Structure 1
C-alpha cells in the first residue's frame, strides 16, 4: 500500500518512480559511459543557435586500454578555429566508486606543452605515463545513472579549488547520453559570486565522431 501511494504521488507530480531514486550501476554501465565519452564532440550547432556560446571542439581519446582499474581518456578542448592549440588538456580516469556512483576523476599533465595538440598522434600518446599526471584534488565528477545509457553528475560542493580570473573554486555539471553531452563549468569567488563561465546554461557538445 505504501509503495502504491508513492507511485501515485510520483504520477501526480509527473515524476518517473524509476528515475526518482538513484539507479544501481554496473561494470556494463561504466563501459557505456566510457563509450559515450570516447570520440569527437562539437558545440557548433549550439553556437549557431545561441551566439553567446562559442564553437568549441572536444576530443576524448582512449589511452591505456589494458588498465585493470577502469578506463582512461586523454582529453583536449579547443576553439574550433584552432584545434592545434587546446586551452584545456586533461586525463580522465573513469571508475565505479560504489553501487550507485561512477566517477570521472580529473588529472592535469606535469608537462602539458609536450602533449598539447597531439591528441591524434599515437606515438605521442604512447609516451604518456601515469607518473606524468597531476591529480586535480576535489575536481572529479560524480555521476549517476538516469536512464539507459544516460548519466548526469557534478563536482561536490566547493571541493574543486581554482584561482582563474579571481575564482576561489569551480563547479562542473554534466549530462551525457549516446548523442553527446552538456557541460557547465563555472568559477566562483569566496563570496559565492560567479566570476567566469556560462551563465545561461551549459555547453551542448554533439557527438560527431566515435
Structure 2
C-alpha cells in the first residue's frame, strides 16, 4: 500500500512539473511574440521590399491586367525611425524604363487612430536620378541624405490594420474617406486600398473618380496582385504580352499602385 502511494505521489509530482514547464514555455512564447508599434511598421516595409510581378494575373486575364514589375528597397531612415523606401513600377519587358517612381514612408499610426501602420507616398524631386535605384550598387545610388532632400509633395496615405485571424492577409487598409485630390484623366479625387499578404505578396487597388462619383481610371475588376519574383529567370513565363505597350495600355495602367499627381 505504501509503495502504491509513493508511486502515485511521484507520478503526480512529475505531472505537476510537466504542467509548470509547459506553462512556462507558453509564457515565454507569448512574451517573445509581443509586438511593438514600430515592429508593425517594419514588417509592412519588409513585405513591400523586393522585386514582385503581376505575372499570374496577366497570364489569366491579359485583357485587364499587365505583367508589371514592382521594385522596392530601403532608401533612408528619418530621425524618428520612419523608413523611407524607393518604389518604382515598369512593364516587365522594359524594367529599365519605369513609368512610376515614388518614395514610400512606413511608420506607426498616430495613437488617436484605430490602425497599426501609416503608409504614405511622396513624389520625388529629381526622378531621373533615381531610375533603377534598387538595381544599382549602393555607392552608385543617391545617398540617404540626398534621398531625404528629394522627398517632394505628399500624395496619399493608407491606414493599415492587422488582419483578423483566419484571413489570408497580414495587414489591410485604405485611404481615408473621400480619398485624396487627383486630376489625372478627368478625376477630382482618388482612393487607394492595399493588402499585405503572407509570403510578401502585395495586393493594390487604386481608382480615380470624377465629381459625379464615376470611376475614370484604375482597375474595375479588382486589385493588382504582386507576387515575389521566383529565383528562376522570366524567359519562359508566357507569350509576349506587353512587348510594346501602346498609349491606351499605358493610360489603363495608371494608378495601379501609387497614384499620379
Shared topology, TM-score over 0.5? yes
Aligned partner (choices 37, 44, 54) of residue 43 of structure 1: 54
Residue in 1 that maps onto 2:189:
169
CA contact (8 A) 1:174 1:183 kept: yes
| Cα deviation 1:124-179 (Å, max 9, x = unaligned) | 23263222111325x11111111577000111122411111111111111111232
CA contact (8 A) 1:73 1:91 kept: yes
Query: Greater RCO between the two (CA within 8 Å, min separation 6)?
Result: 1
Secondary structure in 2 aligned to 1:206?
strand
Answer with 1 or 2: which has the greater Rg.
2
Structure 2 residue 41 is the aligned partner of structure 1 residue 30: yes
Structure 2 residue 116 is the aligned partner of structure 1 residue 98: no
For residue 85 of structure 1, report the CA deviation from its aligned partner: 1.0
Kindly report structure 1 stretches of 4+ aligned residues shifted beyond 4 Å: none
Please, which runs of 5 or more residues in structure 2 have no aligned partner? 1-34, 232-261
CA contact (8 A) 1:94 1:103 kept: yes
For residue 209 of structure 1, report the CA deviation from its aligned partner: 6.5
Secondary structure in 2 aligned to 1:107?
strand
Structure 2 residue 219 is the aligned partner of structure 1 residue 198: yes
Matches within 5 A, 1:9-24: none
Aligned partner (choices 127, 148, 157) of residue 140 of structure 1: 157
Richer in strand (by share): 1
Please, which runs of 5 or more residues in structure 1 have no aligned partner? 1-23
| Cα deviation 1:165-207 (Å, max 9, x = unaligned) | 1111111111112321110111111111000111000100012
Structure 2 residue 125 is the aligned partner of structure 1 residue 110: yes
Richer in helix (by share): 2
Give the CA RMSD over aligned residues. Answer: 2.2
Aligned partner (choices 38, 60, 74) of residue 86 of structure 2: 74
Structure 2 residue 177 is the aligned partner of structure 1 residue 157: yes
Q: 1:25 to 1:192 in 2, by over 3 A?
A: farther
TM-score between the two structures when normalised by the length of structure 1: 0.80
Q: How many pairs align?
A: 186
For residue 66 of structure 1, report the CA deviation from its aligned partner: 7.4
Aligned partner (choices 131, 143, 148) of residue 126 of structure 1: 143
Residue in 2 that maps onto 1:187:
208
CA contact (8 A) 1:40 1:209 kept: no
In 1, Cα distance between the equivalents of 2:94 and 2:193?
25
In 2, Cα distance between the equivalents of 1:184 and 1:29?
21
